[in-house]
Amino acid sequence: MLKFFTLTALFTLSLFATSNESKVCQKCHPIIYDEYYDSAHRKSSIYNNPLHKAFWDKHPKGAKGYTCAKCHTPTDKKAVETGIITDNAIQREEPISCVFCHTIKEVDKGEMSNTNISTGAKKEFFTAEPSKKGSKTASFETKSSWFGLVKTSQSSPYHKIDYNNENYYNGNVCMGCHSHTNNEHGFDTVMLDAMIDKNDKNSCISCHMPQVLGSKVTLKDSKTHAYHGIAGIYHMNREMGKYIDLKVQQNTEGFSVNVINRSNHALFGQALREGVLNATITRDDKTIDLPPFIFTRILGEDGKETMPWRATESLKDTLVYGKKEIFFKTPLQKDDTLTLTIGVKLITKKGAKALELQNSPEMIKLRVLKVQHFQF
């Protein structure tokens, strides 16, 4: 009987490990796991992300079924292979798992979208650590000193570590999913591969996974680690503001604002997304709110606005590529204080209504990226 219960327990643990691989990482990487668990990666499925669910609910269903799986739920192999999506532990707990991201060997560039090529390894992972680049794959070992009285452990007892995949240093590892996404008409609905300057030092990882305080692993203390909550529209909004410069120039009719994009992709390019620049003048204890400028890309078909999967053209494009100059027809006076606030909304009000999300304040609230004051 004891043997039966032991086998049952082992079988249950085996199933748990299979359906929740990322939980295993928590023991050695607790800070990183907590960040991951609250990230857009962990919340990428229709069961965790109401915006993605709303898009999929409205999307025409074809013979291939759930075609978003290779990026939104790649850990659920059944969904990827069959196009059938079901509410299960993988979808809710790790639709994009730690193992998946750390085993991407290379990215296959496709006409419609890119595809991640995985090693399929369960205990040999890629990572970026400049000081160890060029070294051999690290395996667990114990070293002795002081005639065996002092023993120190190196590397992980659970998995091997490969520090030599260039994709993890230049940010290309993200491009399997965060690149172009063309609909069936060949129209790009995402625009994240619209590079501003290919020589830019910034990458997906340096911007969206910045070094933050806290040890990356319990086995060896480190002062910082790469942020796995993914900085951006959901977390660390203000951190993203440092990649946007705002410059003001007065003229006879008013003033202009130059919005300079220091990132290496167009700002606010995702389908139905909206950037906002608010300008407020404080004058003699009075506040003057100027009409906001909206950054957006309106998708169309036959000259009319449409949903992303039907789009064949851009009816309007006010996105920030390298630099964008915006004019305000309100003259500035001496001692005025001009406050500029730039932020982003998950979705436009019109888009929220089309997706039946108009009653969700989270969808249309302004997530501030940067606030800057100018004195005249």
Query: Which one is predicted more confidently, 362 or 151?
Result: 362
Q: Please give the pLDDT value at position 201.
A: 78
Cα(205)–Cα(129) distance, integer angstroms? 12
pLDDT band for 143, please (50, 70, 90 cuts).
low
Count other C-beta atoms under 10 Å from residue 326's C-beta: 17
Q: Helix or strand or coil: residue 157?
A: coil
Distance CA 49, CA 55 (A): 10
SS3 135: coil
Q: Rounded to the nearest 5°, which phi and psi values hold at 370?
A: -160, 140
Task: Note the pLDDT tens digit of each residue in 280-295.
Answer: 999 998 999 999 999 9
pLDDT tens, position by position, 88-123 = 999 999 999 999 999 999 999 999 999 999 999 989
Task: Calculate what percentage of the chain has a pLDDT beyond 90.
Answer: 80
- Say what the pLDDT of residue 20 is: 74
Q: In what helix (H) or strand (E) does residue 240 lie, and over which residues does it extend?
A: helix 237-240
CA angle 279/237/372 to nearest 5° reads 30
Q: Residues 196, 269: contact at Cβ < 8 Å?
A: no
pLDDT digits (tens, 9 = 90+) for 260-316: 999 989 999 999 999 999 999 999 989 999 999 999 999 999 999 999 999 999 999
Q: SS3 string of 33-65? A: HHHHHCCCCCCCCCCCCHHHHHHHHHCCCCCCC
Whole-prediction pTM? 0.87
Cα–Cα distance, 317 to 267 (Å, whole number): 11
Question: Taking the CA of residue 322 as centre, how many other CA atoms within 13 Å lie in the half-sphere pointing to its CB?
Answer: 4
DSSP state of 291: P
Domains of the chain: 237-375 (2.60.40)
The pair of structure tokens assigned to 205 is 């990882």
Query: What is d(CA 265, CA 193) in angstroms, rounded to the nearest whole number?
Result: 6
Cβ partners under 8 Å of residue 138, min gap 6: 132, 154, 155, 156, 160, 161, 162, 163
Give dist(CA 147, CA 103) in Å, integer: 39
pLDDT (average), residues 25-43: 96
Q: Looking at residue 189, what is its pLDDT?
A: 92
Mean per-residue pLDDT over the chain, rounded: 89
Picking from 275, 272, 289, the residue whose alpha carbon sits closest to that of residue 244 is 275
Nearest Cα neighbor of 118 from 103, 132, 136 is 103
- Is residue 263 within 8 A of residue 202, CB to CB? The reply is yes
